[in-house]
Structure 1
Amino acid sequence: MRCAECDFEYDLTTAEQVPVLIARYADQYADLLRGAPEALRRRGTPLVWSPLEYACHMRDVLLVQRERLLAARRSETPVAEPMGRDERADHDGYLQQRPADVARQLRDAAQLFAHALGRLEPKDWERTLTVPYPEVVVRSLRWLAVHTVHELQHHLLDIRRQSGHS
């Protein structure tokens, strides 16, 4: 499967490489968050998140994916709850957060998720959970890892488009 918008290829054989990849993406997000705070908070249109909001979202995605991974290791039939991405942006005040704090937190979240992935045994990669997005379906931890990299790549492209650096 390939994302038509960002050209990401879902290659599940790369799952074991995800810890290194997410650390690299976290560094790229952190670098982008060094910009002027007012520019990082600016939305291109009212319905498109600002770069800061995308970075907050990715921090939370990494934390949520880690919890989903841990749930799949604890239970034979875990069902992941929707993360409430739009509600989080409002309830957690994404636009009011300090970019330097978000950069640090995003790196920490990437490290936490990478650590949990690094503890998987070969058989664990095939453990499954029901995920709610983009549709309700049963997926492996291998897919969860690769999908998280897709999210990181895709939203980094979203930020660069807004900043004129695509």
Structure 2
Amino acid sequence: MECGFVYDLSLAPAVSELARGHIGEYEDLLGAGSAVLRRRSAPEVWSALEYACHVRDVLLAQRERVLAARRCEKPVAEPMGRDERVDHDGYAEQRPADVARQLRDAALLFANVLDRLSSADWGRTLVYTYPDREERSLRWLAVHTLHELRHHLHDMRRQLDSRDVRLG
């Protein structure tokens, strides 16, 4: 993977604490200033603010998926509409301070449901539809969410460090 992330399922029980820890990094990046946060280095590449909004929504969607897997046998994790949300929710127009607060809240909500999983719950499964339809454990879902947090921090930093963004 481009970001160097390794899917180590033994990390799953630590994901709640790791998620809480990464939010401070997002908050720091979201303090960069509204104009630079909204700029895209290329039309097809999200801005740093759009990546932050996406991560907030991923955390909320993953929380709901964990809760569904605890209450139902093998629920289907329907796609969250990641690309549509950019326009439908107006990611680029949101206030960075609001997004930072919402990201913190989303991470805390997600971490809370992970902290409440028993050892048996980690093995509960759901059908994940991306990139291929496959049955996945909550252990995998937690680690996948950590990947999202780390990968999009990398994306945000790349956008904020981009010469095109700084000069644009």
**Unpaired segments ≥5 residues, structure 1:** none
- The residue number in structure 2 matching 1:126 is 123
- The residue number in structure 2 matching 1:158 is 155
Q: Over residues 3-25 of structure 1, what are the superposed CA-to-partner deviations in whole Å (9 max), with x where a residue is unaligned? A: x2000010000100001111111
Which residue of the other structure, out of 47, 51, 61, is the alignment partner of 1:50?
Answer: 47
1:27, distance to aligned residue in structure 2 (A) = 1.3
Identity %: 65
- Map 1:4-83 onto structure 2 (within 5 A): 4-83=1-80
**In structure 2, distance between residues paired with 1:70 and 1:51:** 29
- TM-score of the superposition, structure 1-length normalised? 0.96
Counterpart of 2:32, as a letter, is G
**In structure 2, distance between residues paired with 1:135 and 1:34:** 36
Count of residues in Structure 1 that have an aligned counterpart in Structure 2: 162
- Map 1:86-125 onto structure 2 (within 5 A): 86-125=83-122
Q: Over residues 15-41 of structure 1, what are the superposed CA-to-partner deviations in whole Å (9 max), with x where a residue is unaligned? A: 000011111111111110011100000
Q: Which runs of 4+ in 1 moved over 2 A?
A: none
What SS is found at the alignment partner of 1:139?
strand
Counterpart of 1:100, as a letter, is A
**In structure 2, distance between residues paired with 1:46 and 1:71:** 36
**In structure 2, distance between residues paired with 1:152 and 1:40:** 17
Which residue of the other structure, out of 81, 84, 107, is the alignment partner of 2:81?
Answer: 84
**In structure 1, distance between residues paired with 2:134 and 2:149:** 21
What SS is found at the alignment partner of 1:134?
coil
**Unpaired segments ≥5 residues, structure 2:** 163-168
- TM-score of the superposition, structure 2-length normalised? 0.95
**In structure 2, distance between residues paired with 1:93 and 1:162:** 19
2:139 is the alignment partner of 1:138? no
**In structure 1, distance between residues paired with 2:64 and 2:126:** 12
Counterpart of 2:71, as a letter, is R
